Chains A and B, each alone.
Chain A
Amino acid sequence: MAATDQAQAPAAAAQPARSNRVVAALKESAVAALVAVALSLFLLGIRTVDAPGGLQLQYRWHLVLIAAAVVFAGRFLLRLLWWREENAGAPPAVAALGKAMTAFAERFGRFAAPLLVAFAIFLPLMPFADRYIMDLAILVLTYVLLAWGLNIVVGLAGLLDLGYVAFYAVGAYSYALLATHFGLSFWIVLPLAGILAAFWGIILGFPVLRLRGDYLAIVTLAFGEIIRVVLLNWYEVTKGPDGITGIPRPSFFGLAEFKRFGENTFHEMFGIPYSPMHRIIFLYFIILALALLTNYVSMRLRRLPVGRAWEAMREDEIACRALGINITNTKLTAFAIGAFFGGLGGSFFATRQGFISPESFTFIESAIILAIVVLGGMGSQLGVAVAAIVMIGGFELFRQAEEYRMLIFGLLMVAIMVWRPRGLVSTRMPTVFLGRKRKGISADYVQEGEG
């Protein structure tokens, strides 16, 4: 530090203001580096390794030094180049990107959505759409569907639900059990799974009617955990941790099967050569249709009395009651419809995987879906879709760094939220306009999550 300070001394005479900033940045970075040393001293610097007769310690002080150096350099650069003052916000690149996204959504929002849909429809025809891309696209669309479903509960009705994955699980197990035990086809079970999940939504909704905010959050979280624990331990029905295997794949609307040999095969029906991609592409279109259905239904619902009641309830529950809106019905419909789409998603997940176990329905899934909704800018359908592509696609980019994937994912969640607290698309389109001019409003005017 002293040496650097001296080196700065001549510059200080010439440009006092600038040099002060450099010195201040250096001091701040030194403090940050010290904190980094304190944080990493035990956890990074010493590693516990298994050895005969107990744990052995392995010292890796160089990692502590590296961590300190990285923090020092990172903080220094941030402070010097971007932050003119304490916590001035996001680096300009991020801020500009966010602004551009919002402006883009405002101006081209009505074109962006049809373009995205068109792209999604023609994706399987693209030359680069191999097996890997299609699998990834299916995964992304599953999350888009779930996020749109959760958006009804969190974004529109303002009920913070941390146990959304429970409905996903109900849908998945409904299809898996009905299909393996009773041989019902996917197309019959799909709506059934949604209805069953909606039923569970109402069951959850009743006890939490009186709860608000964080109490609601914790009870929904507990509900999600209860469902998972029951799935894990009710061995006679769910096969517990072993999961359910051999879940049938969907047929081509009951007309043909995606098989290489046998009767009623898809490729014979259309007279084309067999390809394993047919099933993948078919699954892709199913999930695309389901996601678009979710989007369409929630957009239409927003304009119905019930949708207006949801948004009114999100803004002010007491005023709602005073105006004669039935809060009980409003909350229950939000839970039930949100859960319905969760059930559809779950049922699709089961038929796509062919195998499900409680492992797939942990809290982290709920957290990821909620993160997509919030990062997308709650209530914005386009933003949610973009957030799902960014989060799940970005997650996939780090496939090579398998170990560090979740680490980066967690950091990404923090970074996006700190720099874009209102999500990627932070304007809302009101459903009613005075006059002719359609104009988005800033999301800062929108309440949320008060239950």
Chain B
Amino acid sequence: MEYFLQQLINGLTLGSIYGLIAIGYTMVYGIIGMINFAHGDIFMIGAFISLIMFLVLIGLGLTFIPLALLIVMIVAMLFTAAWGWTVERIAYRPLRESFRLAPLITAIGMSIFLQNFVQIAQGARVKPLQPVVTGGYTIMEGNGFSVQLSNIQIIIMVLTVVLMAAFSWLIANTSLGRAQRACEQDRVMAGLLGVNVDRTISLTFVIGAALAAVAGLMFLLYYGVIDFYIGFVAGIKAFTAAVLGGIGSLPGAMLGGLIIGLIETFWSAYFTIEYKDVAAFSMLAIVLIFLPSGLLGKPEVEKV
């Protein structure tokens, strides 16, 4: 029971990170119907910017951790958002009216470019960061096993919930959110009715990249090491999460992220750690066979 509870906590933490990345995928898919393959690498760039900003702050002698975290988060969100915006501007906007596979290929090209850019600029070795947030609580003890809830896990989960709430509010209540939903339903009609479609799509990428930056920061704090390759695996998992939850659906992305995180953690804990990816991907295939549009996705209506 204690072991199970511990794995549940670990799984929810991992799932939160996946969920935040998955939102970027699902939003972009909802609005322009393409797989933004470079999104995982945007997440990686967010992690790198966070790492560098941390080191800068430590170099400047800032030791008050909450303030440092806040500054790092804001800086990482801003600069990663700039990357998200640029990728959309260069690689996707010129292909807006093109056929469906074209932006997919540019996205893969961008992903290759970003990975190698960071590898060249920052070196291929793994980058460690000393633990920034330490400490935690023991929730339960028994059978010689104590269930730990570390501060960093609390921060990750709380931050995810806060961001999700803020984000849902943004989609439901602001004019930007309305414009996004309008573009999602019918881009041409939204444009005719005065919605600035290009701007809305750009902002979608900016928001997705900012959330990915937060996920990158969390990944950095939670695992303590990053390298230029983390974006690929995390990106695929997050995309799997988005599809599992029903692509285009925001709660679905979060739910999918949590499920993938939990499956992975439990599989590693109770079976073999080597095959955790196989478990996650098989789960995806099984869900899609029975629910072809994901858990919370709207079934596609085919019109002839």
Contact = CB atoms under 8 A, between A and B. Distances in A.
A367 interface: yes
A39 interface: yes
B56 A57 contact: yes
B220 to A, nearest CB: 12
Given A48-B55, A210-B292, A222-B281, A41 B94 contact: no
A123 B281 CA distance: 45
B45 A48 contact: no
A370 interface: yes
Contacts of A207: 285, 288-289
B101 interface: yes
A215 B122 contact: no
B287 to A, nearest CB: 10
Nearest to A60: B121
B161 interface: no
Interface string A188-231: 00000000000000000001101111110111011101100110
B56 A211 contact: no
A35 B86 contact: yes
A219 B243 CA distance: 10
Contacts of B59: 57
A14 B56 CA distance: 51
Interface stretch (A17-25, A277-285, A407-415): A407-415
B247 interface: yes
5 contacts: A35-B82, A48-B122, A213-B100, A222-B281, A450-B100
B110 A39 contact: no
Interface in A394-451: 403-404, 406-407, 409-414, 417-418, 421-422, 444, 448-450
Contacts of A46: 52, 55-56
Interface in B140-170: none
Interface string A25-58: 0000000000100110111101111100011010
B211 interface: no
Interface in B81-118: 82-83, 85-86, 90-91, 93-95, 98-102, 104-106, 108-118
B122 A47 contact: yes
A139 B185 CA distance: 46
Contacts of B99: 421-422, 444, 448-449
A58 to B, nearest CB: 10
Interface of B: 29, 35, 45, 48-49, 51-53, 55-56, 59, 79, 82-83, 85-86, 90-91, 93-95, 98-102, 104-106, 108-118, 120-123, 125, 127-130, 232, 236, 239-240, 243, 247, 272, 274-275, 277-278, 281-282, 284-285, 288-289, 292-293, 300, 302, 304
Given A48-B52, A214-B247, A219-B285, A414 B113 contact: yes
Contacts of B285: 207-208, 219, 222-223
B91 A39 contact: no
A444 B128 CA distance: 49
A448 B99 CA distance: 8
A39 to B, nearest CB: 6
Contacts of B108: 367, 370-371, 413
Contacts of A140: none
Given A215-B292, A229-B277, A422-B99, A370 B112 contact: no
A421 B95 contact: yes
B48 A42 contact: yes
B122 A413 contact: no
A28 to B, nearest CB: 12
Nearest to A444: B99
Interface of A: 35, 38-39, 41-44, 46-50, 54-55, 57, 87, 154, 160, 207-208, 210-215, 217-219, 221-223, 225-226, 229-230, 232-233, 318-319, 363-364, 367, 370-371, 374-375, 378, 403-404, 406-407, 409-414, 417-418, 421-422, 444, 448-450
A122 B130 CA distance: 61
B239 A407 contact: no
A43 B213 CA distance: 14
Most chain-A Cβ atoms within 10 A of its Cβ — which of B48, B113, B236?
A: B113
B278 A230 contact: yes
A318 B304 contact: yes
A414 B106 contact: yes
Given A229-B275, A410-B112, A421-B98, A318 B121 contact: no
Given A43-B117, A57-B52, A364-B112, 13 more contacts: A43-B52, A43-B121, A49-B123, A210-B289, A211-B292, A226-B277, A233-B272, A367-B108, A374-B101, A378-B101, A407-B116, A414-B109, A417-B105
A50 B232 CA distance: 24
A61 B128 CA distance: 23
B282 A410 contact: no
Nearest to A221: B236
Contacts of B90: 414, 418
Nearest to A233: B274
A38 B82 contact: yes
B29 to A, nearest CB: 7
Contact of A448 (B101, B274, B284, B304): B101
A109 B130 CA distance: 62
Given A407-B117, A418-B94, A218 B109 contact: no
Contacts of A154: 101
